[in-house]
Structure 1
Amino acid sequence: MVSFQTEQLRTLLAVLDHGTFDAAATSLHVTASAVSQRIKAMEQAAGQVLLQRTTPVAVTPAGAVVHKLARQLRQLEADAAAELGSTGAGQYAVTVVVNADSLATWFMDALALVPAGSPMTFELLREDEQHSVNLLRSGAVMAAVTATAEPVQGCSATPLGAMAYRAVASPRFMGRWFPQGFNKELFKAAPAIQFDRGDTLQSNFFSTVTGARLTGAQHYIPDTLQFGEAVKLGFGWGLMPVAHCVPDLASGELVELVPGHISSIPLYWQRWKIQSPALDSLTAAVTQAAAAALG
């Protein structure tokens, strides 16, 4: 059984947090040689290289496993210090990965439900819901809003509900590309707006409607609010969260391509499966906010 000393795990965290052995040594108030020796001892115990000696230092696949262990230990220590009322407990960061549309619609309401006076601070990473589990798997984050129902090893998964979208465009865009009304054949030439190159919402909708693959002109605008603005300005058509587009549909500033068609993406909350009051508190807040926003 591979075993690491707490001091070694803290050293590995310091190296990855600060990017170099020298910077880690400064933060730990030891020499760079001591840092190097601790990491070498860990690699000998693991029988594998844990860190790539690049600038900044990066983890190997084996190192990612140990990095996750080290971060979980740090979280448990922080929880224990908070429960004991330690004067040195202070604030500690909880890292979460969230998809852009959740971040722009309901996730901040979840953070607002975390009890006042909590020692938690939050570091939010933005990633598409189809890919967010990769950060959870690597140990880079403690929890994720994801479209993946299957729990990552060492994590639990809780259904949150479904994010609902409508395919919309501006009246000017519709008049230009569909002068006689929406038409599947004309749709193949109409430009689309994508969030980024990992976005599959528009492609999936297009395939559902036409039975073909989206290959026409595409704009890439990686910001939820500016994505919506681009649609309103007539750059192209796109799928917008219902919460964002309903007022503009009511006012006539936007028009549905296929009236009444809802595209839904089920979302899940995955988190480390450790007994952590901080993660328990955040989980309760996220599930409460999601129940109100996603149904």
Structure 2
Amino acid sequence: MNPAHLDTLLAIIDEASFEGAASALGISPSAVSQRVKALEHAYGRVLIRRSSPPVPTPAGEVIAQMARKIALLRSEVDVALGGKMGALPLSVAVNADSLSLWFGPVLQAVSGWQQAALHVRIEDEKHSAQLLSRGDVMGAVTSQSKAVPGCEVRPLGAMRYVSVANPELLDRHTKGGQVDWEAMPVLRFGPRDRLQDIDLERRIGFVPSRRNVSEIPSVDAFLEAARVGLGWALLPEVQALPLLERSALVLIDAKRIEVPLYWQSWRLESETLRMLSAAVVEAAASLAH
């Protein structure tokens, strides 16, 4: 097993192209291709689909997860021995609301670790566990309580969401005290954001097929879009409170949606990973209040 070949596989996945991997590794694109072919020959399997972007095959996902574990352990040994191999590679997946509202202390903690480099992937909490199973990340904030194979799970608490709207928008779509949910515009963070759909199913039993949906993939811009009336939305309660107090937004009702969160990470004898997990659990303590 050639460590350089494993590093090349990870570089292709992380940089999303053979050319990007070549630039990151300081080698030619042809050398990247040769290393991948050698790795595939060694395992007797195709490991990377030559698509745009290139993606690992199921066999490639298994090898990628192993490669990341090896890279972390190699880096820890190098740091312990005072070597200069490079940064400790810490890759995690976090949903956008968590990153914006409570994950900050994790960044501060990692900043004090020698040679640590943190790579954060923003992914919806319902899908972040997939990145763990694919070997893209070593830890993930997820709504999945069942452990991904080879991982351990720690409960973090729950994010609490409230349904809010600009007061004028809500007035325009309320008749006789009833909200016209099919006509009122709605926001969503991205194509995988189903919080508003879950709320609608709870309210009216279905999700209208033809409705005005605006997609705003930024936490700050999403909040602003709700404030100005581009659509109604579910916001974290702690984020919505200042706007509710100013009456810039109003509660559609007093009901909350709670999204339980968990930290899943590799089951690996790594002091760095243990410290990372402890930092995440500590940072998430506010979710319990």
TM-score with structure 2 setting the length: 0.88
- Evaluate the alpha carbon distance shift between residue 278 and residue 34 of structure 1 in structure 2; reply closer, same or farther with a 3 A threshold: closer
Aligned pair partner of 2:63 in 58, 63, 66:
66
> 1:77 corresponds to which letter in structure 2?
R
Query: Where do 1:94-243 residues align within 5 Å?
Result: 94-114=90-110, 116-178=112-174, 180-181=176-177, 183-184=178-179, 186-215=180-209, 216-243=211-238
CA contact (8 A) 1:24 1:35 kept: no
Q: Percent identity?
A: 36
CA contact (8 A) 1:21 1:32 kept: no
Take 1:54 and 1:213, find their aligned partners in 2: how far apart are those partners?
Answer: 34
> 1:261 corresponds to which letter in structure 2?
K
SS at match of 2:144: coil
Structure 2 match to 1:79: 76
Query: Where do 1:35-54 residues align within 5 Å?
Result: 36=34, 39-53=36-50
- Evaluate the alpha carbon distance shift between residue 7 and residue 119 of structure 1 in structure 2; reply closer, same or farther with a 3 A threshold: closer
CA contact (8 A) 1:21 1:35 kept: no
Structure 2 match to 1:290: 284
Take 1:267 and 1:26, find their aligned partners in 2: how far apart are those partners?
Answer: 34
Which deviates further from its counterpart, 208-217 or 53-62? 53-62
CA contact (8 A) 2:18 2:29 kept: no
Structure 2 gap ranges (5+): none
> 1:177 corresponds to which letter in structure 2?
H
> Aligned-pair distance for 1:187?
2.5
- Evaluate the alpha carbon distance shift between residue 44 and residue 103 of structure 1 in structure 2; reply closer, same or farther with a 3 A threshold: same
> Aligned-pair distance for 1:252?
1.2
- Evaluate the alpha carbon distance shift between residue 103 and residue 30 of structure 1 in structure 2; reply closer, same or farther with a 3 A threshold: closer
Which deviates further from its counterpart, 141-150 or 54-63? 54-63
- Evaluate the alpha carbon distance shift between residue 13 and residue 115 of structure 1 in structure 2; reply closer, same or farther with a 3 A threshold: closer
CA contact (8 A) 2:125 2:143 kept: yes
The one-character-per-residue Cα deviations of 1:179-212 (angstroms, maximum 9, x if unpaired) are: 554x15x223211111122111001111112222
The one-character-per-residue Cα deviations of 1:13-64 (angstroms, maximum 9, x if unpaired) are: 455556438964994779956962x544433442321223456654222112
Structure 2 match to 1:278: 272
Structure 1 gap ranges (5+): none
> Aligned-pair distance for 1:109?
2.4
Query: What number of residue pairs does the alignment pair up?
Result: 287
- Evaluate the alpha carbon distance shift between residue 97 and residue 136 of structure 1 in structure 2; reply closer, same or farther with a 3 A threshold: same
CA contact (8 A) 1:22 1:32 kept: no
> Aligned-pair distance for 1:151?
1.3
TM-score with structure 1 setting the length: 0.87
- Evaluate the alpha carbon distance shift between residue 165 and residue 89 of structure 1 in structure 2; reply closer, same or farther with a 3 A threshold: same
Whichever of the two has the greater Rg, that structure is 1
> Aligned-pair distance for 1:277?
1.4
> Aligned-pair distance for 1:153?
1.2
Take 1:203 and 1:54, find their aligned partners in 2: how far apart are those partners?
Answer: 32
Coordinate RMSD, CA, aligned? 2.7
CA contact (8 A) 2:165 2:249 kept: yes
- Evaluate the alpha carbon distance shift between residue 257 and residue 22 of structure 1 in structure 2; reply closer, same or farther with a 3 A threshold: closer
Take 1:25 and 1:102, find their aligned partners in 2: how far apart are those partners?
Answer: 32
Take 2:28 and 2:4, find their aligned partners in 1: how far apart are those partners?
Answer: 12
